[in-house]
Amino acid sequence: MDRSQCLYILVGGSHLMAIAKKAIVWGLFAAGGTLTAFVVPALIGLFLLIATGNIPDGLQFDQIHAFAASWLGKACLFIVLFLSLWHAAHRLRGVAHDFGIRQDTLVANTVYAVAAIGSLLAAFYLFSIR
């Protein structure tokens, strides 16, 4: 690992310890993958129930809207969307490499920019729910 990919912190007053910047990206990737693995199958099941007309009592529009309009609901929805977007971005970066696209800097900047824009849009639209 070259020095440009590391952050350095002082440990014990005089020792420098290198911290890779990749840990931030990998952390978002892992958290997004874990959360998505739990939440998306549940959402698919709920959407299938609703599509077949078997709407559970707690999933009426008024109740879902009230949840999405509360600060807790907005925070929960934002976390799910944010982590899922960053997980997908990192996954797409790996897929591009597997398909032979070797311009990693361009691919990384593109997919992470899309994830950042998606996160900002999610925050904007969630904030606009009244």
What is the longest distance spanned by two Cα atoms in the chain? Answer: 66
Mean pLDDT, rounded, of the chain: 86
H or E segment to which residue 42 belongs: helix 22-51
All structural domains of the chain, each given as residue ranges with its CATH number in brackets, are 3-128 (1.20.1300.10)
- Kindly report, residue by residue over 10-56, the tens digit of the pLDDT: 555 565 655 666 777 788 889 999 998 998 899 889 889 888 988 88
Our measurement of the distance from residue 52's CA atom to the centroid of its chain's CA atoms, rounded to an integer in Å, reads: 29
Cα–Cα distance measured from residue 19 to residue 114, given in angstroms and rounded to the nearest whole number: 26
Q: CB 64: neighbour CB atoms within 10 A?
A: 12
Q: Enter the pTM of the model.
A: 0.75
Give me the pLDDT at residue 26, please.
Answer: 82
